[in-house]
Amino acid sequence: MKILFPSGEATDAEIEDVLRTAIEGRKRVKDQLLRIDTTYPAVHFAYTGGDGQERLVRTLEEDEYPNQYHRRLPMEASTVDGPIAGTDEAQADAGLLSTVVAQAPSPVSSLVEAPALKEQHLVFHENQRGLTFDSLFGPYLAGAKRIIITDPYLRMFHQLRNLMELMETISKFLGAGEEVAVHVVTVEDEFNGDRQTESLQKIADACTGVGIQFTWAYDTSGTKHDRDITTDTGWKIVLGRGLDVFQRFELNDAFSFANRLQQQRQCKEFNVTFVRV
C-alpha cells in the first residue's frame, strides 16, 4: 500500500482491490499445501467490508475447475477396501471437500446447470473461460417476440461479430416456426460508417432465413452510453461493457478453438445485471 499509495489517498474500492489480490495470493499457496499434505487444516479466506458484510475470496481457477481444484491426497489411513483414492467419494468420506464451491458456484456453471430466471448480478473475472452467450443470455431471451439491443459501441469488426454470435444464440432458442423481431440501436462510426452499415446489413440478410427480423438504427442524440438488452417478456439485461467481453483472439484462424467456440476464449473483466421491468 505504501508503494501504490504513498500519500495514503487510496479509495475504499482501491484498498479492497489490493486486499483481494493479497488474499488470493496467500490462498493459492495454502490451497496447494492442502493438496499435498493432508495434515494441513482447511482455511476460510474472507474479509469483512466496510458495511460489515463478509466477502468470500475465491480464485479464478477455483471457479473454473471446482472438482479438480479441491481434490486432496487420500489420508494415509485409507484402506484398499475403502473408496478409491482421489475420487469425490473418498474426499467426502474424509471430510475434505470444500463447502465453498457448493455455496457459491461459478456464475457460468450455475447458469448452465440450472438456468433459473431470476434477478441477479454476475461478475466475471479477467482471463476466465467457459462463458457462452447461450448459457448467459439464452434462457432470458427464450420466448421473446421482440428484443431491443442498445450498444453505442458496435463499430469494429470483432464487436459486430459478437453481435452476430448473439443472433446465433437467439436462433438456437427459437422454437419451430417461431419468429422474433430484433432491433439494434447503436452509434455510427465517425470514420468507418460505410463499413459498419455494410456489416449490419449482412447480419440482417443472414437473419432473414432463420426467423429473426433484424433491424437497426443509428442514434444521433450523442447521449447514448449505457448498454443493455430488453425483451417483451419483461427482462432487462444491463451489460457493463456490452457484448465486447472476450479478449483478443485470432479471428482468421479457422483451426483455433477460441475462434470457433466461445467457451474456449478468455474473458475480460465485466459484469451483467438481470432485472425485471
Question: Distance between CA atoms of 108 and 245, rounded to whole angstroms?
Answer: 14
pLDDT attached to residue 149:
98
pLDDT attached to residue 73:
63
Contact 207/169 with Cβ under 8 angstroms?
no
Residues of the chain with CATH 3.30.870.30: 110-276
**CATH superfamily of the 110-276 domain:** MITD, C-terminal phospholipase D-like domain (3.30.870.30)
Q: How many CB atoms lie within 10 A of CB 277?
A: 7
Question: Distance between CA atoms of 66 and 194, rounded to whole angstroms?
Answer: 47
Report which DSSP code applies to 42.
P
Q: ∠ CA(187), CA(190), CA(195), 5° rounding?
A: 85
Question: Distance between CA atoms of 135 and 27, rounded to whole angstroms?
Answer: 29
Predicted TM-score (pTM) of this structure: 0.69
pLDDT in tens, the chain (277 residues): 888 888 888 888 888 888 888 998 988 888 888 888 878 788 889 989 888 888 888 888 887 777 777 776 665 443 334 444 444 443 433 333 333 332 333 444 444 444 579 999 999 999 999 999 999 999 999 999 999 999 999 999 999 999 999 999 999 999 888 999 999 999 999 999 999 999 999 999 999 989 999 999 999 998 888 999 999 999 999 999 999 999 999 999 999 999 999 999 999 999 999 999 9
List of residues 6+ apart from 11 with CB closer than 8 A: none
pLDDT attached to residue 40:
79
Q: What is the largest CA-CA distance in the chain?
A: 73
pLDDT attached to residue 156:
95
Question: Distance between CA atoms of 95 and 38, rounded to whole angstroms?
Answer: 11
Q: Is 98 helix (H, G, I), strand (E, B) or coil?
A: coil
